[in-house]
Amino acid sequence: MPSAHLRVTPPSPPTPGRSSLRPRLTSTAPGSISPTNRRRLPTTGPTAPDRPARPRGTGSPSSPRSLAPTDCPSWPRLFARVGIAVHDAFIECWYTKYVYNLQRPVTYINKHIDPAWRSYLTTPPFPSYDSGHSAQSGAASTVLTDMFGNTPFTDTIHTDHGLVPPLPPRTFASFEAAANEAAISRFYGGIHYPFDNNDGLGSGQCIGDLIRERVQFKK
């Protein structure tokens, strides 16, 4: 569907010149290029940058369980809609990655700002723009919000991983809030630019809207 593709494709990212990317990397937010700021981030627990509100968590049974009974007839439709949305978000994300082939922050920072800088998380070996975590989070949260409304929920997906100490349940104000946290975690981890995350979220949200508009299930 060409019209749908144009609707969900994010805008072009900044060109990888020194003047265009540097302002986006010298933010005072934690997880930016400042080692001092980065050390302020928690290194363990659910708020660590390697343990964001995982997008898969937003579509897991643990997330909306408190919002509907376990025998709710909408469960199959929920998983189908979330699965389709996340699948399509990844297709669009990876198409975009190789259209622009944008270098990761560590490559830019090492060349133009600080040769010794290293990202908090291991940098993935594929292009930066846009963020897969953000795209799938935007898509999943949009579908979930459509089904359950803009309501708080508790995510218990990380509580049974055998970690010591165990991770406590996380409560979010909304599915969108969980998606936003998953997206910003990529910046805090040093592996994405802010616009990777913002545009990825926007693209995923558009895909979620298309799923709502065009994917119909029999009663």
- pLDDT at residue 79, as a whole number: 87
**Torsion of the alpha carbons at 50, 55, 60 and 65, rounded to the nearest 10:** 100
12-23: pLDDT as tens digits: 888 766 556 666
- 170-172/153-155 β-pairing: antiparallel
52-87: pLDDT as tens digits: 334 444 444 445 555 655 556 677 888 899 999 999
Q: Are the C-beta atoms of residues 169 and 130 closer than 8 Å to each other?
A: no
Q: Which helix (H) or strand (E) holds 19?
A: helix 18-25
Looking at the chain, the whole-number percentage of residues with pLDDT higher than 90 is 40
**Peptide bond between residue 130 and the one before it cis (omega within 30 degrees of 0):** yes
Structure tokens at 123: 């940098």
Extended strands (E) in 84-179: 153-155, 170-172
Q: Please tell me the distance from the alpha carbon of residue 95 to that of residue 27, in angstroms, as a whole number.
A: 28
82-120: pLDDT as tens digits: 999 999 999 999 999 999 999 999 998 888 888 988 888
Predicted TM-score of the model (pTM): 0.79
